[in-house]
Amino acid sequence: MKGYAMLKIGEAGWIEKPDPVCGPNDAILKPLAVAACTSDVHTLWEGAIGERHNMILGHECCAEVVSCGSEVHDFKPGDRVLVPAITPDWNSLAAQSGYAMHSGEMLGGWKFSNYKDGVMAELFHVNDADGNLAHLPKGMDPVTATMLSDMVPTGFHGAELCNIQYGDEVLVIGIGPVGLMAVAAAALGGASRIIVVGGKREVCTAAAKKYGATDFISYHDGDFADKTLELTNGRGVDRVIIAGGNGDTFISAIKALRPGGAIGNVNYLGSGDYIKLPRVEWGVGMGHKAINGGLMPGGRLRLEKLARLITYGRLDVTPLCTHVLEGWEALPQALQLMKDKPRDLIKAIVRLEGHRI
């Protein structure tokens, strides 16, 4: 089979590989639509997970089942399915402890284009098919469905990690697709005011407003913590979701947070060895300002529930799908778009259904 692969850090290309092999609990699928992700950019061009040779890229897709193992009960060839970016081993001790995303080892549920080939291929493999896949809801476009692989669950996990309560004032740092879904999650979860920190991409600012942002701060205009404190009369916010920035972002996040509050980080820290915390603003170690960072949990139940938000009209992901390309040859362009981030881009998605490689 053919796939679009990371040849080495900074270099990608088409390669041929043997078809993936299906174990008894697994499924082999072919993608119907694939989305490129900022994480692919970190992996391919920044070497954030280290060197990889000839590893097929991609972890966001909607797909059709080609074959299933003998122990798979709920899926059969021809089924159209949602595929999560994180595919844990559900029969693991990590899963029993409630942290399936770390099955095998820390971050072990992140398999696609990390420990094994990803989804930008004619065929790809999914472990634990019954636990990881979900049926594509009737009438849902596969392009739309790709947002359920990673952007929706990750943004919503950011909101879970900081435990939003009704009426909370929430700060969302970063309003790319993940941050936008965090804004949507905060609004659905009962936040009163949602202050967002973004850059110069107006398409993102406009989408943030649509999803419920009430105030906008540019991170180009000085420390966003000062602006947040100004906006909240010096109180700070109850919750912070970090979906953009870098290690230093935690300094401002802690400053902007009031005691008893929590930070939910889903941002991928692709460089640097340490994260600094401001000693005094962290209550000299006693400020009850919690920091939770998490990999998106993955799994079928979560996918089904999040898909229902779309089905019943609570969540519209179409504003994320700004660049929809057609056909296999567009995959490199989609990745390049996510790297270049033109001002009108939120996500680049490639429709593969009906196209030949």
CA distances to 72, 102, 357 from 116, rounded to whole Å, are 21, 16, 21
Run of H or E residues at 266: none
- Does 175 participate in binding ligand NDP (rule CB under 6 A)? yes
Spatial contact of 328 and 165, defined as CB atoms under 8 Å apart: no
Part of the chain binding ligand NDP (CB under 6 A), chosen from 73-81, 168-176, 230-238, 273-281: 168-176
User: Residues 26-55 vs ligand NDP: string with x where CB under 6 A?
Assistant: ------------xx--x-------------
Told to check if 83 binds Zn ion by CB under 5 A, we report no
| Dihedral pair phi/psi, residue 239, rounded to 5° | -140, 145
The nearer residue to ligand NDP, 232 or 267, going by C-beta atoms, is: 267
CB of 92 to ligand NDP, least distance (A): 18
CB of residue 35 to Zn ion, shortest distance in Å: 7
| Residues 126-185 interacting with Zn ion (rule: CB under 5 A) | 150
Nearer to Zn ion, 85 or 330 (CB): 85
* Cβ at position 297, least distance to ligand NDP in Å: 9
Residue 39 interacting with Zn ion (CB under 5 A): yes
- In the list 117, 150, 168, 281, the residue contacting ligand NDP (rule: CB under 6 A) is 150
Tokens of 245: 């920035």
Residues 326-345 that bind ligand NDP (CB under 6 A): 341
Q: Is 282 in the site for ligand NDP (CB under 6 A)?
A: no
Among 178, 231, 257, 303, binds ligand NDP (CB under 6 A): 178
Quick check: 103 binds ligand NDP (CB under 6 A)? no
Q: How many residues does the chain have?
A: 357
176 binds ligand NDP (CB under 6 A): yes
List CB contacts of 261: < 8 A, sequence separation 6 or more: 162, 236, 237, 238, 239, 240, 288, 289, 290
Q: How many beta carbons lie within 10 A of that of residue 214, not counting itself?
A: 17
Query: Which residue in 5, 37, 63, 324 binds Zn ion (CB under 5 A)?
Result: 37
Cα-only R_g, the chain: 20
Of Zn ion, ligand NDP, none, which one does residue 350 interact with (CB within 5 to 8 Å by kind)? none
Please report the sign of the dihedral spanned by the C-alpha atoms of residue 326, residue 174, residue 40, residue 20.
negative
Q: Smallest Cα–Cα separation from 153: which of 24, 301, 270, 275?
A: 301
Contact between 84 and 46 under an 8 Å Cβ cutoff? The reply is no
Q: Min. distance of Cβ 55 from Zn ion in angstroms? A: 15
Residue 39 Cβ, how far from ligand NDP at the closest point, in Å? 4
Strands (E) in the chain, as ranges, are 2-8, 11-16, 27-35, 55-56, 60-68, 80-83, 124-126, 134-135, 169-173, 193-198, 215-218, 237-242, 257-265, 290-293, 323-326, 348-351
Q: Judging by beta carbons within 10 Å of its beta carbon (0-12, 13-18, 19+), is residue 339 exposed, middle or buried?
A: middle
**219 forms part of the interface with ligand NDP (CB under 6 A):** yes
- x-or-dash pattern for ligand NDP, window 227-256, by CB under 6 A? ----------------xxxx--x-------
Name which of 230, 298, 234, 228 is nearest 263 in CA terms. 228
Q: Which does 271 bind (CB under 5 to 8 A by kind): ligand NDP, Zn ion, none?
A: none
- Summarize as ranges the residues that interact with Zn ion (CB under 5 A): 37, 39, 60, 150
- Summarize as ranges the residues that interact with ligand NDP (CB under 6 A): 38-39, 42, 150, 154, 173-179, 197-201, 204, 219, 243-246, 249, 266-268, 295-296, 341
